[in-house]
Amino acid sequence: MSEVIVVTSGKGGVGKTTTSANVGTGLAEMGKSVVLIDADIGLRNLDVVMGLENRIVYNLVDVIEGNCRLKQALIKDKRHAGLFLMPAAQTRDKNCITPGQMVKLIDSLRDQFDYIILDCPAGIEQGFQNAIAGADHAIVVTTPEVSAIRDADRIIGLLEANEIKKVDLVLNRLRQDLVRRGEMMTVDDVLDILGLPLLGVVPDDENVVIATNQGEPLVGKSSDAGQAFFNICKRLEGKEVPFKDFGKSSTIWSRFSGLFKKSLQEERA
């Protein structure tokens, strides 16, 4: 029986697609069979992040409308034998499918894959409802910013209302240097506010930009973000991986001395 995971966030641009691509690739690297479904109809991007944009013939809407067989819309990954992508339609809009159709589609994939991962569109409208309809488990991605956390909180409420019981948090794009200076919320601050179990913390890492440029997920590579995404995959597989210390808000002394320096600088200015 497969596990159906939806990757969602509410706010756009916090790293849903990057997380979907890396978690899917990481699980495939661990020998699991995985299908990534791009549920962002009209604004598909998972194909680009995976580097598979040139191989698309059929898409999710074609399958639902019966224009092709299920197998024809599944694109095999370049590097991993057990990894497939089902792209979204680019020239249609979110209202052309219903949550019921998504549930049916997912059910037809369940016996072939260990993991079905859905990349949810931003927002809370029809596209979101479609993406979460067949999910057993949700990963909420957020960044340590007021706007992203506010939207994540709203999404968590909607997931609860839709009876998705298992909801985990991925905190993306954390900057340790800012956390240490007290200019970015800590992991504990965010957990305290959102009250979700933590699945992973991904540090802000330029290698993510480079990997996206190349269309090659960086999970498992030696970079900080690559390791963080791989740890998320291990935790999904039930392994206990300790969390790295991502910088507590600084000690009282360093905070005071830091502020003192800052005020001196301001006085000079």
Partner 1 sequence: MSIFSVFKRKTSSQIAKDRLKILLISDRVNCSPEMMELIKNDIAQVISKYMKIDASTMEIQISKTGSLAGNGKKMPVLYANIPILDLRN
Q: List interacting residues with partner 1 (CB under 8 A).
A: 145-146, 149-150, 153-154, 157, 178-179, 181-186, 189, 193, 195, 249, 255-256, 259-260, 263, 266-267
| Of 246, 131, 83, the residue nearest 180 (C-alpha) | 246
DSSP E strands, the chain: 3-8, 34-38, 75-76, 83-86, 115-119, 137-142, 166-174, 198-203
CA distance 267 to 254: 20
If you compute the radius of gyration of the chain from its CA atoms, what whole number of angstroms results? 20
CA distance 229 to 247: 19
Pick 65 or 183: Cβ nearer partner 1: 183
Minimum distance from residue 253 beta carbon to partner 1 (Å): 13
Pick 164 or 179: Cβ nearer partner 1: 179
CA distance 75 to 95: 24
Minimum distance from residue 176 beta carbon to partner 1 (Å): 13
For 77, how many CA atoms within 13 A lie in the half-sphere containing its CB? 26
Pick 239 or 248: Cβ nearer partner 1: 248
Minimum distance from residue 232 beta carbon to partner 1 (Å): 24
CA–CA–CA angle 145, 180, 246 (5° rounding) = 75
Number of other residues whose CB lies within 10 A of the CB of residue 183: 11
CA distance 238 to 160: 23
Minimum distance from residue 244 beta carbon to partner 1 (Å): 19
What angle, rounded to 10 degrees, do the helices at 206-214 and 224-236 form? 80
Pick 44 or 180: Cβ nearer partner 1: 180
Minimum distance from residue 243 beta carbon to partner 1 (Å): 19
CB 237 within 8 A of CB 30: yes
Pick 136 or 189: Cβ nearer partner 1: 189
Minimum distance from residue 256 beta carbon to partner 1 (Å): 7
Minimum distance from residue 166 beta carbon to partner 1 (Å): 18
Pick 8 or 231: Cβ nearer partner 1: 8
Pick 101 or 186: Cβ nearer partner 1: 186
